[in-house]
Every structure is written in structure tokens, then in C-alpha cells.
Structure 1
Amino acid sequence: MDPVWGYLQANRSDIEVDLERLVKAESPSLDKRLSDLCGEELKKLFRDRLGLEAVMFPQTVVGDNMRFTYGEGDSQLLILSHFDTVWQAGRLTYRVEGNRAYGPGILDMKGGIVQSIWAVKALKESGLMPAKKIVFLCTSDEEIGSNYSRELIEQESKRSEAVLVPEPSIARTGALKTSRKSMSRYFIRIRGKAAHSGNHHEDGISALEEMARQIVYLHSLTDYSKGTTINVGVAGGGTCYNVVAELAELDVDVRTVNYEEAERIYKLMMGLSPVLPGIQLQVEGGITRPPMERTAHTERLFQLAAQCGAELGLSLKEGSAGGGSDGNFAAALGIPTLDGLGAVGEGPHAEYEHVELDGLPVRAALLAKLLTRL
């Protein structure tokens, strides 16, 4: 058995203890108090396992971001992760059923964080640390768009030879992610004209009717052959059943595989025209995450990871994801970026979110070997 993998297998129980410890420290994105308490647990893990102290980046709305640096050298490798989750406190609980561990954010992406810590610990204990700095950047707002951490992510990415993202692997296949879609968000405010729906219906202009027509049009822009999806996820308006609705609002999500398509949809959104006479439309928003497009740099990074995987008995594949991650920002800067290096499991953002416990040591070994090759 590979010595690093052997070390991690021998310490599997401690890895699982650390995973439980971090998952139980719940960290909803918009609950700063809980996120910072989770951050304290994270700092303890880095201190206990690697002897590292955090460099803090305080925040006022979300949890504080933090950076840990192991080793020395003129160049660095970046392990990019987030510790916030989509779950409100108490919504899910940690539990183990056979080979599966369940809990809020356990797959997305606390399992990947724990694996990353143990990957570097295995290299340290085996005397195989590369002659480079390994930087861990842990952010607290990825699930809500990374508005408070994007600048920090981009700064740290620019200093790095490669960016490794321990987000979960692709479900059922364990594939790594060499591309991700862009993410765009738009808010549409519709203003019509209120009127009594019985006495003066003809004097009103229904914002809700306009909303319905716009939803049909927006959804018609979805083109699966191009990998483009448009989803009106939230819609509402009106004040009372007997009043012609004066106001309505839409919250729209757009995903595309490349920047050109994202720009095309942006122009369409900004050029939306009313269907009904007398309606006023106001559109705000734009591209929130650039796409992570597969490049020659990404391909070389994946091939190197595949070689490492083969040495561990893994037959790794690559794939694309519709969801974005902080790796999108690094990739858009031209930095070689590989995603999906985290835990194996299923159900991110779902009640059955879980990791496969026997996959923790081998996936940590994969990351460790990749760090040495880089």
C-alpha cells in the first residue's frame, strides 16, 4: 500500500472524529455568530493537526475568512474551500448509517476540508512535503455568491501555481470537475396600474399578467443543446384579490457553459421589453460567477491527478457541473484549477446529503499525491 494512503487508512477513525466535530459546528451562511463559532473549530483543527495559526480576514455580515500556510518556498499551491452551508441551524443532524455519514454541509464541503487537512498531515508525517508553500483559504460566503470573499480569492489565486478545490466529486462516478457553468442572477421589477377589479377593471394594467408572459418568454430561452438554462425561481406580486395588481417581481437564475453565452443572455435580459401597453420594467443584475471553462491547463492538471489516482487503484474520470464554486474565479484568471477533489457522496443541498466514510482516506491520499507531483 502507498505509504501516504496507509497512514491515512490507519488514522481513519481520527479523520471521522474531525469530520463529526466540524459538521456539528453548524455554519449557515447568513448567521455570523454560528459561522464564527464554526471558524473557531476550524482553527482548532488546523492547530491540532498541522500546528498552524490562522491569518484572519474579519467580516461584518458573514463569518470571518481565514488563511493557513504550511511550508516555505517562492511558489505556492492553493487549496480553496468554504465552510458555510445552506442549512439553517437544527435543520439536519449528524448521524452515521453504515458507511454513510449524514449532516449539514458534510459533503458540501466540510468533508473536503477535513480531507485536505489530513492530506497535508500525511505528507508531513511521511516526510514527503513538497518544497512549496501550501495555502489553505477558508471562506464563509460561497453559498450566497462569495461577494465578501471574491477579492481575497482572486488575490490568493494570482499568487498560486495551481488551485485545488476540495468540493465534492460528481455523484455516483467520483469524477473530478474540469468545467463548471457560469452563474448569473437577475431581478425584474414590473409596474402596472392598480384598479378596482369589479368597478374599473378596464382601467388597470396587471403586473401579474405581465409577469406570467415574461416567465413564459424567459423559460423559452433555455437551450439544453447549448447548456444554457434560465429559471425563474421566485415570483410574486399583487396586494389583494379584488385589485388589479400594480407590482410584481421576479428572481431569475441563469447558467451557461461559456462567457460568450453569458454575455448574450445578459444583453437579452437588459433589453427586455414589456408585452402589455403601459407596463414599466426594471431589470437589475448580471454575471455573478464566470464560467470555469476546460482549458489545456485544466486538462494537464486532470491528467496528473488521474495518474495519482491510478497509483491508488482509482480510475478517475472528469466531468462538468452545472453549479458554480469559488474555483470559477480562479479559473477565469487563467490559473490552472481542478475541482471536485473533495469527498465522495451524494445530495449536496438535499436532506440526504452524505459522504461515504471509506472514501475519506483514499481521496485524501489522492490530494496528497497530487500536491507532491505539483
Structure 2
Amino acid sequence: MTHAVRYRDLLTTNVEAMIDDLRRLVHVETPSDRPDLLRAGLADIEDYVTTRLGAPSRRQRHDGGARGDVLDLTWEGTAPGAVLCLVHYDTVWPEGTVDDWPLTRDGDILTGPGVLDMKAGLVQTVWMLLVLREVGEPHPAVRLLLTGDEEIGSSVGRPHIEAAAADALVTLIPEPSAAGDVKLQRKGMVFADLQVHGVESHAGLDPDAGASAITELAALIPQINALADRERETTVNVGVIRGGSGRNVVAGVASCEVDIRIQDPAEEDRMVAALEALTVTDPRCSLEVIVERNRPPMNPTAHSQGLLTLLRTAAADLDETVDSRAVGGASDGNFVSALGLPVIDGIGGIGAGPHARHEHITVKGLSRQTALMAAVAEQLGAAHR
């Protein structure tokens, strides 16, 4: 048995304060591509968490440049070890979105930009520690790592995530849940940017003098799509195409952006090699291919199955159930899982619509998910006393 019911009851009693906290965070706009807003937003976020939890016993802020700083805060526990809570504070929503879409409540539904992905996760982390302290059950230290570039690839956040996770009993990632279930299997991601350079000419007066970059790129796209392998759960999407300068100009430049999702780790090497081997047929044209191995896949491990047992124990105390899901999206949890380290991903808000205008969470889910996080920390504290 855990104190999950007591945690939930405390959270339910304080749910209006949790909603006020969430409103504050949603109204702090932190789009990934605005370093000025990320900087200001992180200062506001730090003020919020330290006001709620007190000064941390350990604080480090790492310069992230244009991609937002990384803030690493730890509050001591009453049992050995530490639980790492990994939260990204950047969102996909541009400045000004909140002006006509503030946090709004309609019964059990809370909607607003970034409310699900993932500012609810930060509120959950803060209140997890608050209820652990209130109940007084021994618990590990809580380490909060805030990153500002998850939505655009985590190139700054990744090394800090991997270093912090290495020392943790578990990494809890309050990313959006799958209708209350956690995500123990995620796709990995490979990105590719292709640019073809051709020769411009007048399409009417001198068409043969030109070499169309668009024509060459169009011939490459079926080859790229053919790399998909449904049996291995590898998908390919050419999501953006650009090219040419005018209807009557043989195109001198054309480019495309490719998104590849993989479940089998071996597929990463196959896809990278195939993309880098692409060639154009017209010798007057040239091709540049830039490939980024963005995230490795997350697959179930012995660690994840053991952690799912802890979650199920806590859920049973609440007379509820928790299962695990496989999803096509990726998160920073992919980095942790690929290192063979324990991680629970998708323990955040219950809702729908991340990155969409119907983004929302449920109020009831806010209490439930936070109680589950606290109960996991409690069980880890008991196991390591």
C-alpha cells in the first residue's frame, strides 16, 4: 500500500491553487525560437518553483544560447538517492497566442497554449514534492531539470539530461499521458534536409540551357519514400518542399525537409546510409544532404517493466489502472532509455491536442497524475532506506 489516496485527497483540496499555478505558467510565453522570451520565462519559472518549494539545496544554470538555458535544481529528500523530473519549458506557440487564448476552464477541462505540453507537468512536479512533504513519508531528493529546446531537437538539453539521468533512481517525465497511460515505447527520429542546385534559365527563350533543381528533387522524393519499411515500423514523411523563383524560370534551387521515425535501432544506420547515398541524374545539378540523428528509439526494458509495477501498485490504491502505450512521437525520455537507465515517460496531463488549438487537460487528471508521481517516489524511498 502507498499513500496515493492521501496524496490525491490533498491535491484535490488544493486544486484551485494548482490551477492558479498553471495559469501563471501558461501565461508566461516561451516559444522555442525566442531566446529573449525563454530567458525571461525561465526566470519567472524559477521564481515560481522556489516560492512554492523554497530555495533548492543545489542550483546550476547552464548557458543554452539561442536555444534557452538549462536550469538544474535539487531539493533534499528524507531517503537515499534522487528522483529526476525532466521538464521542458519551451512550447510551440508564438508570442501573443495567450492574448486571445488565455487559460480557460470549462467544467473539468482546462485549455490554453502549452497547458498539456507540458506546463501541467511542471505544476505536477512541484505539487508532488509538496504533498510528499505534507504526508512526511520518506522520499528521495527531487531534482528538477528544466530545458528550453525539446520542441526543436534538444541539442542543448541532451548532454545535461543524460548526465543527470545517470545519477537518478528514476527519471520521471511528465509529458502528456496517453489517456492516463504511460509511454514506455516511442519512435526514434532521423531528420534530413536535402538541397538541389541546378542551373537557371528562361523557360521560354532558352529552356535547354537550364537544369531544373525541382525536376531533380521530384525524382528523389519517390526514392526517399521507398525507404519506409512498415514491417520494421519505419515511416518516412517529406513534410516541406521549396523551390524555384518564378513560373517562367527553370529552377536553380529546390529543397525538402524529411522526417523519419524508427522503432528498430538498426534502422537508424540504414536510413542514414541510404539518404547520404542519394544522387542526382543531371550532371549539371548537385545535391547536398544533411542528416541529423535526432533521437534514438525508446523500447521496453527490464527497468521500465519494474517501474510499471510501481505505477500499477499506486494506481490500484486509487482504484484505478495504468497501462503502457507505444506511440510514434518522441521525447527527451528517448535519450534516457537508450542509455539503459530507468525512466517513466508520459506521466503528465490527461488530455488531448498538443500543438493544436484544442490543447487541453482535465482537472481531475491533474490530481491523479501528481498523486501517482508522489506514490512512485514514496515506493523508491522505501526500497532504498
For the 8 Å contact 1:52–1:69, the answer to whether it is kept is: no
Q: Specify whether residues 157 and 198 from structure 1 end up closer, same or farther in structure 2 by C-alpha distance, changes over 3 A only.
A: same
For 1:56-88, what per-residue CA distance to the aligned partner results, in whole angstroms no more than 9, with x for missing partners?
A: 223321332211212156522211111100000
For the 8 Å contact 2:232–2:264, the answer to whether it is kept is: no
Could you state the TM-score of these two structures normalised by the residue count of structure 1?
0.95
RMSD, aligned α-carbons:
1.6
Corresponding residue of 1:15: 18
Work out which of the residue numbers 312, 317, 321 in structure 1 matches 2:327.
321
Map of 1:255-270 to 2, 5 A cutoff?
Answer: 255-270=261-276
Q: Report deviation, 1:193.
A: 2.1
> Aligned AA for 2:255?
E
| 1:6 corresponds to 2:9 | yes
Deviates more, 1:360-369 or 1:236-245: 236-245
What is the DSSP-based 3-state SS (H/G/I as helix, E as strand, rest coil) of the residue aligned with 1:222? Answer: coil
> Aligned AA for 1:63?
G
Quick one: distance in 2 between partners of 1:75 and 1:150?
22
Q: Report deviation, 1:180.
A: 0.9
> Aligned AA for 1:99?
D
Q: Report deviation, 1:276.
A: 4.1
Corresponding residue of 1:164: 172
Q: Report deviation, 1:195.
A: 2.2
Map of 1:1-374 to 2, 5 A cutoff?
Answer: 2-53=5-56, 54-72=59-77, 75-92=81-98, 93=101, 94-130=103-139, 132-170=140-178, 173-374=179-380
Over 4 Å off, 4+ runs: none
Quick one: distance in 1 between partners of 2:233 and 2:55?
42
Mark the runs of 5 or more structure 1 residues left unpaired by the alignment. none
For the 8 Å contact 1:237–1:247, the answer to whether it is kept is: yes
Could you state the TM-score of these two structures normalised by the residue count of structure 2?
0.92
Quick one: distance in 2 between partners of 1:138 and 1:152?
10
Q: Report deviation, 1:286.
A: 2.4
Quick one: distance in 1 between partners of 2:225 and 2:237?
6
Deviates more, 1:338-347 or 1:289-298: 289-298
Deviates more, 1:341-350 or 1:186-195: 186-195
Quick one: distance in 1 between partners of 2:254 and 2:227?
21
Aligned length: 371
Q: Report deviation, 1:272.
A: 0.8
Quick one: distance in 1 between partners of 2:147 and 2:138?
25
For the 8 Å contact 1:52–1:68, the answer to whether it is kept is: no
For the 8 Å contact 1:207–1:248, the answer to whether it is kept is: yes
For 1:110-150, what per-residue CA distance to the aligned partner results, in whole angstroms no more than 9, with x for missing partners?
A: 001101110111000110141x3221111111111111111
Could you tell me the percent identity over the aligned residues?
36
What is the DSSP-based 3-state SS (H/G/I as helix, E as strand, rest coil) of the residue aligned with 2:299? Answer: coil
For the 8 Å contact 2:113–2:359, the answer to whether it is kept is: yes
What is the DSSP-based 3-state SS (H/G/I as helix, E as strand, rest coil) of the residue aligned with 1:185? Answer: strand
